[in-house]
Amino acid sequence: MNDLKVLGQEKVGDFKFTGIEGGFGEGKKSMLVKDIAEIHQSTVKRINELINRNKTRFREGVDVLDLKQVVSNDLFSEYGFTKAQWGNSNNIYLLSERGYSKLLKILEDDTAWEIYDQLVDNYFAMRQSIQSENKALLADKRLEIMEQNAATRRAQLMYKIAMATKSQRHRELMLNRAGKELVGEMVIPAMEVESVEYTASEVAEKLGVLTKAGKPYPAKVGEYANRISLKAEQPGQNEYGRWIISKSKYSAKEVAQWVYFEAGVQKLKEYLELIK
């Protein structure tokens, strides 16, 4: 383990905390839980409880260190603690950048990611070893990190939109765009979005394919579609529609379902006019 080095008071935006370097690798910065708690307007007790309850997620020496296990007891003041605070604490945790990002997923507060972006841009990314002489390189690095953070935020937004949409086709497209933001290319081939997709029930109602009781008759629509070979092979799509995976009405099982594009509805309409 690399030697820990207290850098003194750090300030990022409105946040003040104890800057610490080492412990997780040469030149790598870290943060005390007591500072993280203050930044997130929480308590040390709550943050420690979150870490302890999720101990399997935090790798010792990679994500988290307990200073009480690795630092001499007479050095408490260097880290901003009183003798009583140090002595009465069961754990005094130090988190790496990676450990802090894991903690954010557990915190789930509204400002967590915004705060994280500020700290990554202005604290974790700034190594003491590259101060002063190479300001141009430092500025380029900071710009690169900011661009990566912006791409991540856009990808997160696209992912949320994808998960909220009911259309499987639109969901896949949004997930593709999210993937492109993160890796610079589509994860799977992008699909051209149709303006509207119709289920068999919706087509039955639209074209007047009804049961004797006057209700939409989706099974009959499927039968007509099969007669004129309207459907593509599974899994796949054609100009008339595509296969999607949806939940069965009568169980939790997922089933393949054919949905119709406008061209498919028009083709069925032409067929119905022929057989009248």
DSSP letter, residue 51: H
Mean pLDDT computed over 216-238: 87
Out of 45-59, 61-75, 200-214, pick the least confident: 61-75
23 is written with which tokens? 């412990």
Residue with tokens 């599974």: 234
Would you say the pTM of this structure is higher than 0.85? no
Rounded distance between C-alpha atoms, residue 168 and residue 174, angstroms: 10
Question: Which pLDDT does position 130 carry in this prediction?
Answer: 44
Each residue's pLDDT tens digit, 166-217:
666 666 676 666 666 655 554 444 444 445 789 999 999 999 999 888 899 9
What residue spans define the domains of the chain? 5-108, 132-193, 200-275
Backbone torsions φ then ψ of 180, nearest 5 degrees: -65, -40
5-12/29-32 β-pairing:
unpaired
Are residues 28 and 21 in contact, defined by beta-carbon separation less than 8 angstroms? Answer: yes
Residues in Cβ contact with 99 at an 8 Å cutoff, skipping those fewer than 6 apart: 30, 58, 62, 63, 64
Computed over every residue of the chain, the mean pLDDT equals 76
Q: How confident is the model at residue 232 (pLDDT cuts 50, 70, 90)?
A: confident
Q: How confident is the model at residue 16 (pLDDT cuts 50, 70, 90)?
A: confident
Q: How confident is the model at residue 269 (pLDDT cuts 50, 70, 90)?
A: very high
Spacing of C-alpha 218 from chain mean position: 38
Q: How confident is the model at residue 2 (pLDDT cuts 50, 70, 90)?
A: low
- Higher-confidence residue of 192 and 267: namely 267
Rounded distance between C-alpha atoms, residue 152 and residue 219, angstroms: 44
